[in-house]
Amino acid sequence: MLRLQPQMFQSAHDLLLASDASVKDLSYKLSKLICWEILQVDIQLFQQADGFLESSTVQDIMKRTKTCITSFRLDSDMSPSSDIVGHCVAFLLNIKDWDYLGNLENTNSGYVEFGRLLSLLCKELPNMKESRKAAREVWEVILQIFTTTEQQKRSSSGAPSSMKRESNLGLISRAHFVQFIQRIKDPVVLSALVSCVTKLYNLLKNDLTSEISSDYVIMWPTALGSSSQLNLLAVSDAVTTLMQHTLCVNPTQPSWLKTQADLHFAHAQYSGAMHCYMEAALVASDYFSRPVPKTILDDQVYKRLIKSCNYLQCYTQAAVLCQFLEEVDYVTAFRSFQEKHCQDAMDAYYDCIWDVTILEFLINLHAKKGELEKKQRALHAIGQLELNSSNSEDILVQAKQKRMQKFLRTLAKHYL
């Protein structure tokens, strides 16, 4: 989404103020409509300033926002447009005024109703048990937004044909939903939206090997009653747009980076996947000064890293990563080491290997090929005293952790 500069909104604000001054004595109705436009510009200025405005300014915008929503609900002839109401709802979500939104009922605005349901959900988080009812209501709204209906019509020849159209049963249209989510800045609301839309994407795609992870995933339904009327392409586009937006809001949020990495992997964008997985791991471990949390790098992610490296012809990287698995994948490691056209640093990674079986395989492999220098590197790696099997468990674990962190730093330098 195009990011306008704050001074542009300030200029728009000044022009609208001048317009209001010239008409307010002539037409109260027109003046009121201009005031709604001024409010929208002020909300956008607040969002562009990332919320860094004086408290009095925020309180003023909040008061005007609630007046705007009330006017829309009363359906007067001076009511603001639906788009302005959408900006107001997004503003209230961003300043966490969830109590106000959550108490609004019998509204005639899809934006207000959607904001109400999101507020009820976010108030309950992170308590998964208490949030399930609210999550179900949000889920039903999202399903309606991405539902298509099939209409029968006749062609010019008179033959019947079917045409799929976006359902008009949703609280807001699909296009308005995509616009709305890009106005959200609050991390809790964003995480809830990411979780919901990615869960829907996973259920529609139905491919366990490329599922997208996110926070709060367990609060959503685990199956779809019928997916025939749901538009997978539209959901995929919404996920892509939402993730681009969330990482603009906070480019160093580890769980969002992991979700983006999963999305790259699901789309077979392996270089992008490696970049985001490494960035998530780096941020979550303070540049690998401590172990990477398993919420970021677990067995499933390591398998994806291995697959990505193999597709990128970084076979040695893939082989080294095979020892990161809970059960070392020797078959993949040995096969990767024997690939001919390798695009990585190859034997320079040998000092990151702690698995003695892998090192013994390398010594034998290079001896057979007459690759004496590479064999010597493998011999040097296996000869380190800290890898001696007679060492205590603590020493062996420390040796493993040291090599893991060193290799992850190396991967980060390669892909970031």
Q: 165 — phi, psi (to 5°)?
A: -130, 155
| Helix (H) / strand (E) containing 257 | helix 254-266
Question: What's residue 170's pLDDT?
Answer: 81
Nearest to 184 by CA among 248, 130, 228, 235: 248
Residue 72 lies in a domain: yes
pLDDT band of 106, cuts 50, 70, 90: confident
Question: What's residue 190's pLDDT?
Answer: 98
Q: Kindly report the average pLDDT of the chain as a whole number.
A: 90
Residue 45 lies in a domain: yes
Q: What is the pTM of this model?
A: 0.90
Question: What's residue 1's pLDDT?
Answer: 47
Residue 167 lies in a domain: no
Residue 370 lies in a domain: no
Residue 86 lies in a domain: yes
Domain count, the chain: 1
Question: What's residue 162's pLDDT?
Answer: 52
Mind listing the pLDDT tens digit for each residue in 46-69? Answer: 888 775 667 778 999 999 999 999
Residue 244 lies in a domain: no
Q: What percentage of residues in the chain have a pLDDT greater than 70?
A: 88
Residue 395 lies in a domain: no
Total residues belonging to the chain: 416
Question: What's residue 8's pLDDT?
Answer: 67
Residue 39 lies in a domain: yes
Mind listing the pLDDT tens digit for each residue in 120-159? Answer: 999 999 887 888 999 999 999 999 999 987 655 555 565 5
Q: 46 is in which domain, residue-wise?
A: 6-95
Mind listing the pLDDT tens digit for each residue in 146-192? Answer: 998 765 555 556 555 555 566 566 899 999 999 999 999 999 999 99
CA torsion 110-116-117-119 (nearest 10°) is: 140
3-state secondary structure of 129: helix
CA distances (Å), origin 192, targets 61, 123, 204, 225, 265? 25, 11, 19, 22, 22
